């Protein structure tokens, strides 16, 4: 079973994502902030990470930078999630090598598509999941 690290500070949103991910067949590890995300990733390396961008005391971009420094996590597929519509966020995600970028709210089918592509053996050659999504 593939494991997804979900970094989301809003408890209700984390719960909803967790239920959805589990129904899709993934094991889920939760973190609410940068420190928790790094601790979870160090304890058991996940297969992918869903990173909220706006977190208390830090942000998902800092988490991504630090995950890249962890042994064995340099190639971890990163998918950013955010309620923000700032184009600079999408550009920053691209610069960090993200394989996906989802703007909340989004359909569960889109989450499934992005995760499936991110976890496929050739995820670096997957369709451009950063270009946008139906609004």
CATH number of domain containing 63: 3.40.50.2300
Q: Is residue 124 part of a domain?
A: no
Q: Is residue 17 part of a domain?
A: yes
Q: Is residue 38 part of a domain?
A: yes
Average pLDDT over the chain reads 88
Q: Is residue 33 part of a domain?
A: yes
Other CB atoms within a 10 A radius of the CB of residue 54 amount to: 14
Structural domain of residue 26, as residue ranges?
A: 3-43+55-106
Which of the residues in the chain have pLDDT under 70?
A: 122-135
pLDDT value for 11: 95
Q: What is Dmax (Cα atoms) for the chain?
A: 37
Q: Is residue 129 part of a domain?
A: no
Q: What confidence tens digit (pLDDT) does each residue in 75-110 have?
A: 899 999 999 999 999 999 999 989 999 998 888 889
Q: Is residue 87 part of a domain?
A: yes
Q: Is residue 132 part of a domain?
A: no
Q: Is residue 111 part of a domain?
A: no
- For the chain, the domain total comes to 1
Contact 53, 82 (CB under 8 A): yes
Instruction: Kindly tell me the number of DSSP H helices and DSSP E strands found in the chain.
Output: 5, 7
């Amino acid at each position: 079973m593939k494991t997804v690290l979900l970094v989301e500070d809003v408890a209700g949103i984390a719960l909803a994502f967790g239920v959805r991910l589990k129904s899709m067949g993934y094991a889920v590890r939760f973190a609410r902030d940068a420190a928790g995300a790094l601790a979870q990733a160090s304890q058991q390396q996940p297969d992918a990470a869903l990173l909220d961008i706006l977190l208390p005391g830090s942000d998902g971009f800092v988490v991504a930078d630090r995950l890249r420094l962890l042994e064995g996590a340099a190639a971890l597929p990163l998918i950013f999630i955010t309620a923000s519509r700032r184009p600079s966020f999408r550009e920053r995600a691209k610069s960090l090598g993200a394989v996906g970028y989802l703007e909340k709210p989004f359909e569960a089918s889109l989450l499934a598509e992005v995760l499936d592509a991110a976890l496929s053996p050739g995820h670096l050659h997957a369709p451009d999941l950063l270009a946008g999504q139906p609004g």
